[in-house]
Structure 1
Amino acid sequence: MKNLVLASSSPYRRELLERLRIPFEIISPNIDESPLADETPQALVKRLSLQKAMTVAAHFNNHLIIGSDQVAVGDGELLTKPGDFDNAFKQLRSESGKKVLFYTGLVLLDSGSQQHQVDVVTTEVVFRPLSDIEITEYLQKDSPYNCAGSFRSEGLGITLFEAVYSSDPTALVGLPLISLNRMLKIFSK
């Protein structure tokens, strides 16, 4: 198999990819992640995943480049990374007792041939009703300020949920390993 490169600055994606025990490099793509006018969440994560992979592929002649992006949607609105306590508190309060959809885009690009595969994995998270005290305590303990939706499911964020529905449990963390493994098998033939 060709050498792998993860086009990401996310420590969560790096940790997930390490599970596959395949050597890889990491390069941050540094792209503008702003949504386009009238762009659906699915189209957004596909476009950004491909753009990340293509940006990094420009530096490699014959590698497999992994690009991934994730957005959360609650009440029809994109939920961004909160950045601080106040924004995270507002997000979690708005998510309390509701369903939030997470769309995780994945691209595997062969930098030599420019062939690529694309997938979007949808994860539905059902939040249990949360009190202001629970939200405050969670945010103080887990500090998920760089996570879309204001939680870390691989940390204490899992305690905020009533249920999670997905075909790939790693998608919620940011890199769908089941889909990636399937893509790697196709490119290794």
Structure 2
Amino acid sequence: MLPLLLASSSVYRRELLARLRLPFSCSSPDIDESHQTDESAAYLVKRLSLEKARALAHSHPDHLIIGSDQVAVLNGRIIGKPHTFDKARQQLLDASGASVSFLTGLTLLNSRTGQHQTDCVPFTVHMRTLSAEQIERYLHAEQPYDCAGSFKAEGLGVSLFQRTEGDDATSLIGLPLIRLVDMLTHEGISIP
């Protein structure tokens, strides 16, 4: 088996990949993550997941490199990580009673052959109607400022949901493990 490399510095993605009980290492790619003019959200995340994997191919030959990227889409508009309390509060106010679509791009690149598998895995969160007080209590409790959509689904953020919709809940956290297992199987890796 070729060694696995996760092209990410995300602690959330590392924790998810560890669930598969395969040895892996991590390295953070340095790429421009700007959204291009007239680029759909689905195309954006697929392009960035592939660019992240390719950015590490030369320094990690003979590896299976996992690249992933995620955006949240609310009312047809991409919303990013809030980084501040005020921006997070506004994102959650805007999402209150609405649906937020999360699109996660996933690439598995074989740096030996140059062959890659790339996909976009969607997941939708239908939010409860939230009061300003609920939002502020949540933000003070969990401080999800590094999370697209301004919540941590693996934590208290789940209390903000009315329901979810999608094939792979791990895609919401940033690494769709069900699709990744399919890709690894295609590369000859047996799990479990």
Give the TM bin, normalised by the shorter chain: over 0.9
1:160 equivalent in structure 2: 160
TM-score normalised by length of structure 1 = 0.99
% same residue = 53
Paired residue type of 2:125? V
1:56 equivalent in structure 2: 56
Displacement of 1:74 in angstroms is 0.2
Structure 2 distance, partners of 1:32, 1:157, is: 29
1:111 equivalent in structure 2: 111
2:41 equivalent in structure 1: 41
Is structure 2 residue 143 aligned with structure 1 residue 143? yes
Is structure 2 residue 50 aligned with structure 1 residue 17? no
Task: Determine helix, strand or coil for the equivalent of 1:57.
Answer: coil
The runs of 5 or more residues in structure 2 that have no matched partner are none
Paired residue type of 1:26? C
TM-score normalised by length of structure 2 = 0.97
RMSD: 0.7
Paired residue type of 1:9? S
Structure 1 distance, partners of 2:58, 2:151, is: 33
Structure 2 distance, partners of 1:80, 1:61, is: 32
Structure 1: 4+ residue segments shifted above 2 A: none
2:84 equivalent in structure 1: 84
The runs of 5 or more residues in structure 1 that have no matched partner are none
Task: Determine helix, strand or coil for the equivalent of 1:92.
Answer: helix
Displacement of 1:152 in angstroms is 0.5
Structure 1 distance, partners of 2:108, 2:152, is: 25
Displacement of 1:85 in angstroms is 0.2
Paired residue type of 1:41? A
1:93 equivalent in structure 2: 93
Task: Determine helix, strand or coil for the equivalent of 1:93.
Answer: helix
Structure 2 distance, partners of 1:165, 1:58, is: 38
Structure 2 distance, partners of 1:45, 1:145, is: 20
Structure 1 distance, partners of 2:56, 2:124, is: 30
Displacement of 1:174 in angstroms is 0.2
Paired residue type of 2:85? F
Structure 2 distance, partners of 1:149, 1:125, is: 10
Count, aligned residues:
189
Structure 2 distance, partners of 1:58, 1:164, is: 39
Structure 1 distance, partners of 2:67, 2:86, is: 30
Displacement of 1:172 in angstroms is 0.2
Q: Show CA shifts across 1:51-87 (max 9, x none).
A: 0000011211100000000000001111100001000
Structure 1 distance, partners of 2:30, 2:142, is: 26
Task: Determine helix, strand or coil for the equivalent of 2:181.
Answer: helix
